[in-house]
């Protein structure tokens, strides 16, 4: 009797799982975005959400929950019903940087409370300087920093942000000593760079390049393995005389832990299909985003690699969040 009972239970679980994949979704899908409306993460969430609506037959609606370096949004997502109707569009910051930055103070564990769905896109950074800085290549920048120890300021979007960590990584490669000036976001940091309050920054390409094209800043090199199709005139770090390093920012969809695997697979396949739509590809190219896609395992690999990389930088630089 026990054997029959166990077999029956196993069958019911299998049937329920199959039904969940077949019937999903049965109600609107909420896409939690950890930043305010109008930013790149929000734009991606709304664009993908609109196309998912057409593919899945239920509205996919963005729910903006900014604040606390993505922690508010991540916690809200992790505590949601694990049925596939809640997705989190998180980034390098929330999934790979925060665990090393906050340690035991972090309000969530991305490895235990979330499951990966799909890697959406990556975006490179660009090294930009104020026009008064007399350098045009990474080799010249290195020489300038060595000749002016402690006298060059660099801006960032804030303590522990990718623009901060990328510069700390670069500093350790060349034993440079520029002074960190953190701001509350990339936009104010770039404004101060234009005004000459700081002399350089490693900024996301979509945020910095309009200012470069307007003649407000000078682009030295893109932190990317190859030149960008949108800006082929800008060399890579290596081509410009610098040492190779990776500082890609990325976006990924996650779901609450416990979400059925077949539902995650259906979401993954739907998101991958959306990323191949011509209108989506065109919009991503306009935003200087490189489409990623792939299996959920790809998200896991990227998270693991970047968590280790940035934890090492955070520890070596002694970066702390009050």
> Over the stretch 193-225, which tens digit does the pLDDT of each residue have?
999 999 999 999 988 999 999 999 999 999 998
Strands across the sheet with 125-129, in order? 179-182, 153-156, 200-204, 125-129, 218-223
Q: Where are the domains of the chain?
A: 2-121+250-317, 125-223
Q: Which fold has domain 2-121+250-317?
A: D-Maltodextrin-Binding Protein; domain 2 (3.40.190)
What tokens were used for 282? 């065109």
What is the strand order of the sheet 249-256 is part of? Answer: 60-64, 29-33, 86-91, 249-256, 114-123, 290-291
| The pairing of beta strand 179-182 with beta strand 153-156 | parallel
The pLDDT of residue 43: 92
Q: What is the mean pLDDT of the chain?
A: 92
Distance CA 40, CA 161 (A): 15
Tokens in use for 243? Answer: 């040492």
| Topology classification of domain 125-223 | D-Maltodextrin-Binding Protein; domain 2 (3.40.190)
Residue 14 has pLDDT above 60, yes or no: no
- Sequence-ordered list of residues with C-beta below 8 angstroms from that of 38, at least 6 positions apart, any chain: none
Question: What percent of the chain is predicted at pLDDT more than 70?
Answer: 93
The answer for residues whose C-beta is within 8 angstroms of residue 99's C-beta and 6 or more apart is 106, 109, 110, 307, 311
What's this model's pTM, rounded to 2 decimal places? Answer: 0.87
Identical fold, 2-121+250-317 and 125-223: yes
Would the pLDDT of 103 be above 70?
Answer: yes
How do residues 142-179 score in pLDDT, each as one tens digit?
A: 999 999 999 999 999 888 899 999 999 999 888 899 99
């Amino acid at each position: 009797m026990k054997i029959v009972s166990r077999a029956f239970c196993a069958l019911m679980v299998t049937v329920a799982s199959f039904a969940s994949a077949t019937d999903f979704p049965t109600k609107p899908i909420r896409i939690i975005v950890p930043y305010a409306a109008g930013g790149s993460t929000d734009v991606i969430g709304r664009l993908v959400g609109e196309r998912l609506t057409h593919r899945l037959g239920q509205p996919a609606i963005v729910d903006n929950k900014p604040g606390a370096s993505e922690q508010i949004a991540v916690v809200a997502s992790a505590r949601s019903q694990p049925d596939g109707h809640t997705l989190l569009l998180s980034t390098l910051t929330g999934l790979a940087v925060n665990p090393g930055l906050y340690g035991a103070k972090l309000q969530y564990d991305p490895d235990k409370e979330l499951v990966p769905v799909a890697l959406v896109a990556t975006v490179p950074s660009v090294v930009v300087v104020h026009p008064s800085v007399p350098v045009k290549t990474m080799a010249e920048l290195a020489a300038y920093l060595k000749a002016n120890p402690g006298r060059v300021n660099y801006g960032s979007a804030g303590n522990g942000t990718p623009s901060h960590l990328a510069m700390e990584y670069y500093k350790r490669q060349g034993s440079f000593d520029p002074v960190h000036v953190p701001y509350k976001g990339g936009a104010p940091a770039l404004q101060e760079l234009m005004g000459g309050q700081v002399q350089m920054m490693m900024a996301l390409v979509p945020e910095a390049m309009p200012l470069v094209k307007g003649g407000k800043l000078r682009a030295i090199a893109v932190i990317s393995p190859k030149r960008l199709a949108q800006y082929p005139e800008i060399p890579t770090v290596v081509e410009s005389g610098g040492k190779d390093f990776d500082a890609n920012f990325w976006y990924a969809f996650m779901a609450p832990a416990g979400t059925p695997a077949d539902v995650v697979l259906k979401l993954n396949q739907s998101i991958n299909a959306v990323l191949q739509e011509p209108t989506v590809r065109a919009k991503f190219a306009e935003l200087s985003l490189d489409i990623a896609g792939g299996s959920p395992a790809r998200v896991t690999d990227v998270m693991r690699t970047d968590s280790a990389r940035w934890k090492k930088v955070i520890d070596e630089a002694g970066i702390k969040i009050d």
